[in-house]
Structure 1
Amino acid sequence: MKVSILYSGGKDSSLAAYILRLTGHEVELVTVNFGLLESYRPAKATARRLGFRHRVLKLKNEILDRGCTRIVEDSHPGNGINYIHREALKEVAKVSIAVGDGTRRDDRIPKLSIQEIRSLEDSYDVEYIAPLHGLGYKTINRLTDEILEYRKDLSEKIEKSDYEVEIREFIKRKGYSIDKIFPMEHIQSRVIGFKGDLNG
């Protein structure tokens, strides 16, 4: 079965893709972009190094606008990012039989509720697959350390392809301060490739 996984180039979505490939799925990695920046490029490069098919999903600017409006109103990224994530999954679901992501058991942003998962599956007649949902951070850290080569840095410094890149740019262009919205010490990852023999 083919499954389309929302992909940022980070260790969680890379681990999710790896697990799905091991279980016999045909994996396609999908990176969301709004056309504001070419933020999809790091994910595209990582997907190629890991040996996965990759495509860029262009979403309407209205979705970014609504998400960022919510973020500015809340002075917190949570609800806005969750909104964008839901809309991205819906868009992928229109042309897929199975969709998924790298969200984990302990995640809050982005994360679908059980009701939202059921609604997505019923509305678009798809399977929603999130292989990390049952795993805690200790297990995920152990697995990614065993399987993936990656580097970590502050969110604003690392090359990545998640929603936050264009969200930050959009909000800055609107004249709002990013520092009052996003955590100052948010560490994120960028996958470089597989470890050792897995590269073969």
Structure 2
Amino acid sequence: MTSSPHDPAGSAAAPRSARFRAVLLVALVVLLLCSAGAVVWLLAARGGDAEDRQGQRDAVMSQARQFMLRSYTYGPDDLDEAGRLAENRAQVEEVVSDKFGAAYEESIAAIEQLVKSQGVGQSAQVHGVGVQYLDGDSARALVAGESTFTQRAEDGSTQDVQTQTFRMVVDLVKVDGAWLVDDSNIASAASPDAEPSGSPADTPALSPTPSPTDGAGR
């Protein structure tokens, strides 16, 4: 039976149908908004993780660079009144772990004697730093560059004695949120196939250079 315009049953069905469609539309809009929010949240989370990891990589490379520059830079002008490389010690201690700091303290005394008796010095340039691996609390960086050895002449001038390239493997650990150098070795001995990013492809192999880990200085 067809409802007439004056049929109460037909009049009641029309508003109910309209309300149903309105509720359904609102529900669909809410669902779409929730889905869009979830997508944005996931993308933001992934982007945040990527930024955090890149930030950690940058911190590792920066600390490895600073370690090489600080530990490979000293000379007669850096000796204090007691004949110690006090500033060099303090700068290196800022970027190394307690374990490595103990080894460094043993080697720096021999270097101080050479600086005092022969007027020797060393300076470094870093050409490239790369990260070989990185996890939550440990990392390995590869550092390439060159160091120049100097010696004070009788007339007081400083003369370059030798310049040589280096390729070092620097192991770091995370301590209280900060990356600290925990060990260092010649790259050819620890990772012969690794090449730091940003270093020249034809970087010569590192000739033996003393380091705190071998007890002979740097």
TM-score by length of 2: 0.24
Higher relative contact order (CA 8 A, sep 6+): 1
Task: Point out the structure with max Rg over C-alpha.
Answer: 2
